[in-house]
Amino acid sequence: MTGREGQVHEVRSASEMDEVLRCPVLEKRGHGNSPHAEEFVLAGTLIYIWGDEHRRRRRMYAPLVSAVALRDIEAWLGPMLQRRLDALPASADGRVRADVLTLARDVSLAIAARIIGLDDMESLERLERLGELGDRLVASLKAHLEFEKAPGMQGASPEALADAKARFIAIRIAEAKTAKQCFIDEFYRPARARREALVERQRAGEIEQAQLPKDLITLLVTHDAQLRTEPSWDEDLPVRECTMTLAASDHTTSMAACHVVADLFHWTAAHPEDRGRLTDLAFLRRACNESLRLHQVTDPATNWRHAREDVTLKNGRRVEAGDRVALWYGVGGMDADYYGADVASFNPWRAESGNLRRPYGFAFSGGSKVCLGLALVVGSGGEEDARADDFRGDLPLMMQAFFAAGMRPDPERPAVPRSHVHASPADAREILMWKTFPVIFDGLGK
């Protein structure tokens, strides 16, 4: 440490952001954006730790997104998507109407449950129950952001507002703590007990290693002794690893699905020559990456990196030990020098320039703290040069299933945006979210 007051460096260019994310002496320490609920949902989990402890935990997690695991997920995903679509009820006029947000949420929850290792998740009721508990956990993480002046608070004193905000947050946290206990009783405990019994049988030589489930709870059981030696260990940590994974994977994919659908509806209206490509996975992978680049689906708040040592970046910027670097993931993907002059519009045929290989911009962060779900969401291998054994990505696969079922906009019920937040304090560009996204499936029903 230098002893001087640490400076803040704002990074906006794609190449510098990429370099900062990869730089080993610029560390992400904790999450920092959810000050109230961290201790019972996120504390000590993969997303919250750094350095050697993070490297060890990341290695523990690696089998969840290995090529073998992703191939298993792909083999399961296709039939599961088809079952979900076939189960959609037809309206009185015989048409099948649905909401992309709800449909994609159910699919994302089913994927999250499979990765975590929750049992008996075939029924929609169990999925919805998991979603309800997940919503309450996430609401506590966002409580400090979502508090708006309650009715009757206009003109209230700063003290009264602070008091109302504290009460609002306290209620969200109490609800989330109840939800966490329900998650433990209804989902985690039975799943863990089954896996502990299986691991015991495997250790006794009664079953093969390959017969163990490939999920997070199994990894938490098999790595129990190692986890107990970690600085972040307490008896509740394994539960929090599950609540963290649920929170990280749930609404991100479903919101991204709405953005891709919206972008593709607009694109094909203006480019009818691409309509025939709506079931072509290479095209859909391009579209998903481009849509993720344009629309941030994660928390738009500042992401910080802390300098452990002095470092000089390629452009000459000197960052000294104790300084912090401020990043906005939604901004790095809007660098016209890298993505071209039409950077603010959706173009699935956008050419890659330079060598960053980030067609999705900074949607998944980067470096050692890159999103664990990256390959799961967008696929492994390149958009065009994917090999037969590459995973094609749950988002493109979901889009392929939806478009193959004849998805089109519902002319009577336009999609409704939910809210707009700014990409960064200095960036007037708005980030769009969706409240509802009604569609019709012409290929389903009578």
Q: How many C-beta atoms lie closer than 10 Å to residue 86's C-beta?
A: 10
- Out of 80, 173, 221, 256, name the contact with ligand HEM by CB under 6 A: 256
- Out of 372, 399, 401, 439, name the contact with ligand HEM by CB under 6 A: 372
Residue nearest to ligand HEM (CB): 373
Contacts of ligand HEM in 57-96 (CB under 6 A): 58
Residues forming a β-bridge with 407? 441
Q: Applying CB under 6 A, which part among 180-188, 344-352, 364-372, 412-420 lies near ligand HEM?
A: 364-372
Residue 371 contacts residue 389 (beta carbons within 8 Å): no
- By the 10 Å C-beta count (0-12 exposed, 13-18 middle, 19+ buried), 322 is classed as middle
Stretch 273-292: interaction string toward ligand HEM, x if CB under 6 A: -------------------x
> Per rule CB under 6 A, is residue 380 in the interface with ligand HEM?
no
For the CB of residue 249, give the shortest distance to ligand HEM in the complex, in Å. 3
> Per rule CB under 6 A, is residue 293 in the interface with ligand HEM?
no
- Out of 34, 218, 243, 303, name the contact with ligand HEM by CB under 6 A: 303
- Out of 249, 291, 400, 424, name the contact with ligand HEM by CB under 6 A: 249
At residue 151, φ and ψ (nearest 5 deg) are -55, 140
Q: Applying CB under 6 A, which part among 139-147, 206-214, 231-239, 246-254 lies near ligand HEM?
A: 246-254
> Per rule CB under 6 A, is residue 364 in the interface with ligand HEM?
yes
> Per rule CB under 6 A, is residue 377 in the interface with ligand HEM?
yes
| Strand (E) or helix (H) holding 346 | none
115 alpha carbon, distance to own chain's centre: 13
Stretch 134-153: interaction string toward ligand HEM, x if CB under 6 A: --------------------
For the CB of residue 299, give the shortest distance to ligand HEM in the complex, in Å. 7
Residue 88 has which token pair? Answer: 């959609």
CB closer to ligand HEM out of 98 and 244: 244
- Out of 127, 169, 219, 363, name the contact with ligand HEM by CB under 6 A: 363
> Per rule CB under 6 A, is residue 41 in the interface with ligand HEM?
no
Q: Applying CB under 6 A, which part among 15-23, 160-168, 361-369, 421-429 lies near ligand HEM?
A: 361-369
- Out of 277, 358, 369, 392, name the contact with ligand HEM by CB under 6 A: 369
> For the CA atoms of the chain, what is the radius of gyration?
23
Dihedral of alpha carbons 72, 62, 357, 378, sign: positive
Tracing tokens 């079931």 back to the chain, one arrives at: 279
- Out of 34, 243, 298, 424, name the contact with ligand HEM by CB under 6 A: 298
Distance CA 347, CA 308 (A): 39
Compute how many residues bind ligand HEM; rule: CB under 6 A: 25
For the CB of residue 47, give the shortest distance to ligand HEM in the complex, in Å. 4
Contacts of ligand HEM in 401-440 (CB under 6 A): none
Angle between helices 124-146 and 237-270 (to 10 degrees): 90
Distance CA 323, CA 245 (A): 30
Stretch 105-134: interaction string toward ligand HEM, x if CB under 6 A: ----------x-------------------
Angle between helices 100-116 and 67-86 (to 10 degrees): 140
Helix/strand/coil percentages in the chain, nearest 5? 50, 10, 35
Distance CA 172, CA 164 (A): 13
Nearest to 444 by CA among 100, 82, 79: 82
> Per rule CB under 6 A, is residue 334 in the interface with ligand HEM?
no
Q: How many C-beta atoms lie closer than 10 Å to residue 40's C-beta?
A: 17
For the CB of residue 240, give the shortest distance to ligand HEM in the complex, in Å. 12
For the CB of residue 112, give the shortest distance to ligand HEM in the complex, in Å. 6
Distance CA 165, CA 142 (A): 12
**CB within 8 Å of 327: residues ≥ 6 apart:** 11, 17, 20, 21, 302, 303, 304, 305, 362
Residue 386 has which token pair? Answer: 């994917």
Distance CA 343, CA 350 (A): 9
Residues in the chain: 446
- Out of 17, 21, 26, 47, name the contact with ligand HEM by CB under 6 A: 47
Q: Which residues bind ligand HEM (CB under 6 A)?
A: 31, 46-47, 58, 115, 245, 248-249, 252-253, 256, 292, 297-298, 303, 329, 363-365, 369, 371-373, 376-377
